[in-house]
Amino acid sequence: MFIWWMLFVAVLPVESNADVDFDHDVMPVLTKAGCNTGACHGAAIGRGGLKLSLYGSDPVADYRAIALELKGRRVNLLEPEQSLVLMKPTEAMEHGGGFRLDPESEAAARLRQWIQAGAERHNLELRPKFSRLEVSPSSVVIRHPDQRLNLKAIAHFSDGSVRNVTRQTVFIAEDPVAVEIDSKTAEVRVLRGGRHVVIARYLSQVKPVEIILPFRGSSVKVSTDEQKQVFDQKHFIDRAVNDLLATLGIPISGDAGDDVFLRRVTLNLTGRLPDAEMRQAFLADDESKRRIDLVDRLLNSDEFTEYWTLQLAKLLRIHAQPGNEIGTQRYHEWLQRQIAENVGYDVIAKKILTAKGDTHQVGPANFYRTVSGAREQAEFTSELFMGTRLRCANCHDHPLDQWTQDDYHGLASVFAKIRSGQNVEASDNGQVIHPKTGKNARPRIPGVKFVDASDQPLTTFANWLVADQNPYFARAIVNRLWKSMMGRGLVEPADDLRATNPATHPKLLKKLADDFVEHGFDLRHTLRLIAASSAYARSSDSISGNESDVRYYSHRIGQLMEPEVLADAISDVLGISEPYGDKPLGTRAVMLVNPQTESATLDALGRCARKDSCEVPVSLTGTGGLTLKLHLFNGPILNQRIAGGNGRLSRLIAEGKTNEAIVEEYYRVALSRPVTEIEQRFWSQQLKETNGERRSLLEDFVWSLLTCKEFVTNH
């Protein structure tokens, strides 16, 4: 009984004036009222003469601003009700931010109590420290739209005490149109089906809450045969994907078929369309293992090396700076060797981070010529190798993640010890000024520890980054591999991994990352694993009729071909090579080292110059933008080359092929499948020759095929 009573007391709200603490009681009031958001006093320059730290990340500075600045005018110890900190948000006097605080509320009472008690900030060493926030439920399935959910937040402190802080916690729905939250009671109502995230914020911590409302109000009902096909999978990818689809009530599309699989996986792994010989060999294989055998052949091909060198070159933003064309070439050649030799991704990353020397000879040293400045290097590195946007902690602690200004400027200090130029070398003089202290920032491993500047902080950081236990490195790359193969990352955007942006399938992401580490950071292994799953092989036809299921892999998400891949595919189908700058005719776009090589076609298709990140938002349609459509419909990318006299069409006509045979060949080359009877009848009707217009009609046919969605997407 005594233990129960003590726990009951521990979670009660603070009542007495003496117990009201600035950090634990006043700061949550300001955050809940929105006073320290970026749109109010938490802005970089503050508002109305008052500047607070964003979301209360710096209580020392906030106490100084509220209690000590303006000679204490913001708090009135003699007449607490006349304090500006009370009168402004309650609109007892004019307030640019409007009405923010009910004067009769518990929050207003806490502010009064704090001022009445002397408006002090307790000695940090004499009071328990806030250690963690626990929100319940953290994940829940709601079976009916009318069901209400009550969230509860408990704060844990260093002395073992706990406090119910539900009323002081800010709950924000990721999609406020889909989820309603009562700010006073923390009662949640879900307005539409799907998986929704609510972010809970108390003091320095934020926690995600996952709420699922099945689209059909219950799990998917399937027949016994369908259950065996869909749910009885040994592949851990399929178990994870299918379990969530069942919970959400989303029906699963069937298998795409061999022709579609052949085209899809060949494009994903080599950036090429499968040719006739490849298709013939594939269909001749034993049906039970033809797909995995195909995947293995592709993974061991030169084309895989070429294409995945391009993929990593985009991530690394390899591009030629003026006067460093040689260095760019060496960097690209080095990267291609790593892919060809199947070097572990951890080894690649460590070689890049620790590379030094003449950039015209040491390829990976060019990493330090990609961006200019230690801060920019810290931002680039964290996004690339950790999948985190550390840049958000430059001016203030990250509002949605654990990163602090110490983390940001500490990592920048690590890179300040590198002097870049044609010769990359260590420097003892490089420093970064911490904006909060005005002093040199101490080198720091983000989120872990400070390191001594004399202890080779870059090597320490590199060792920490690629360690098996690192929680960011493996997840960042497997999430990108998944996105490349599946059309959408388990976390989107792919460079924004954080607790408050949870993966659609958190356990699957962890399992993929753990498996990646267990297999020596082998890129090919993880790509093979994904390609072997039933989830990868699904049809792109959704049978749910619900657009929301593009997040959960019930069907294939169509991907618009990358500019380089689409340019090569057009050349292959037309049988006419595209010229690229001064490169020999026949050079493929995926092999170009310099993304700024002269090419009107690649410019029109929207290639990335790699001066900034090439990671783009997921396209839900897979059909491209207006610019691409216009160029394909009425530009020289297709029209001039289709009419060229030395391409595939001219050859087929010269060989005396019938219209039906020409249609059949183009379908197999462009779409990697035979033409259907319905399609063949349609084209036979359209291609009936009148007045000697056969060539013109066939050109229109080729144009139609190369502008259709089925061709320009990997589906």
> Residue 676 burial (CB < 10 Å; 0-12/13-18/19+)?
exposed
Q: Where are the domains of the chain?
A: 2-122, 130-213, 560-714
User: Which residues pair with residue 149 across a beta bridge?
Assistant: 188
Q: What is the DSSP letter of 669?
A: I
Percentage of the chain lying above the pLDDT 90 cut: 62
- 614 neighbors 314 (Cβ within 8 angstroms): yes
User: Which residues pair with residue 425 across a beta bridge?
Assistant: 419
Neighbours of 442 (CB within 10 A): 18
Q: Which amino acid is at 109?
A: A
Give the up-direction half-sphere exposure of residue 495: CA atoms within 13 A in the CB hemisphere. Answer: 19
pLDDT, tens only, 190-247: 998 889 999 999 988 899 999 999 986 444 444 334 433 433 445 899 999 999 999 9
Residues 606 and 566: their CA atoms lie apart, in Å, by: 11
- 554 neighbors 252 (Cβ within 8 angstroms): yes
Long-range contacts of residues 422-430, Cβ cutoff 8 Å, at least 24 apart:
422/324, 422/327, 422/358, 422/359, 422/360, 423/357, 423/358, 423/359, 424/355, 424/356, 424/357, 424/359, 424/362, 424/365, 424/368, 424/369, 425/356, 425/357, 426/356, 426/458, 430/374
Q: Could you tell me which of 349, 354, 360 has the C-alpha nearest to residue 325?
A: 360
- Mean pLDDT of the region 79-108: 87
Whether the pLDDT of residue 38 is over 80: the answer is: yes
Q: What pLDDT was estimated at residue 190?
A: 94
pLDDT, tens only, 469-509: 999 999 999 999 999 999 999 999 999 999 889 999 999 99
- 379 neighbors 400 (Cβ within 8 angstroms): no
**pTM for this model (two decimals):** 0.90
Q: Which amino acid is at 287?
A: E
3-state secondary structure at position 196: strand
Cβ contacts of residue 11 below 8 Å, gap of 6+? 154, 162, 163, 164
Residues 285 and 293: their CA atoms lie apart, in Å, by: 8
Q: What pLDDT was estimated at residue 433?
A: 92
Segment of 8-12, 322-326, 382-386, 416-420 carrying the highest mean pLDDT: 382-386
Neighbours of 227 (CB within 10 A): 13
User: Model confidence at 628, in pLDDT bands (50, 70, 90)?
Assistant: low
Three-state secondary structure along 505-560? CHHHHHHHHHHHHHCCCCHHHHHHHHHCCCCCCECCCCCCCCHHHHHCCCCCCCEE
Q: What pLDDT was estimated at residue 625?
A: 60
Report the Cα–Cα distance between both ends of the chain, in Å, rounded: 64
User: Which residues pair with residue 162 across a beta bridge?
Assistant: 156
Neighbours of 495 (CB within 10 A): 20
pLDDT, tens only, 129-141: 889 999 999 999 9
Q: Could you tell me which of 206, 121, 217, 141 has the C-alpha nearest to residue 171?
A: 206
Whether the pLDDT of residue 621 is over 50: the answer is: no
- 388 neighbors 472 (Cβ within 8 angstroms): yes
Residues 135 and 139: their CA atoms lie apart, in Å, by: 10
Q: What pLDDT was estimated at residue 545?
A: 64
130-213 maps to CATH 1.20.120.1200: no
- 191 neighbors 548 (Cβ within 8 angstroms): no
Give the C-alpha distances (Å, rounded to integers) separating 636 from 228, 585, 587, 632, 643.
51, 18, 19, 8, 10
- 103 neighbors 92 (Cβ within 8 angstroms): yes
> Residue 690 burial (CB < 10 Å; 0-12/13-18/19+)?
exposed
Long-range contacts of residues 351-354, Cβ cutoff 8 Å, at least 24 apart:
352/316, 353/381, 353/385, 353/458, 353/461, 353/462, 353/465, 354/458, 354/459, 354/462
Cβ contacts of residue 10 below 8 Å, gap of 6+? 161, 162, 163
Q: What pLDDT was estimated at residue 641?
A: 84
Average predicted confidence (pLDDT) for the chain: 88
Whether the pLDDT of residue 653 is over 60: the answer is: yes
Beta strands in 178-230 (DSSP E): 179-181, 187-190, 194-202, 205-213
Give helix then strand counts, H and E, for the chain: 28, 17
Q: What pLDDT was estimated at residue 124?
A: 66
User: Model confidence at 176, in pLDDT bands (50, 70, 90)?
Assistant: very high
CA gyration radius for the chain?
Answer: 30
Cis preceding linkage at 364, omega within 30: no
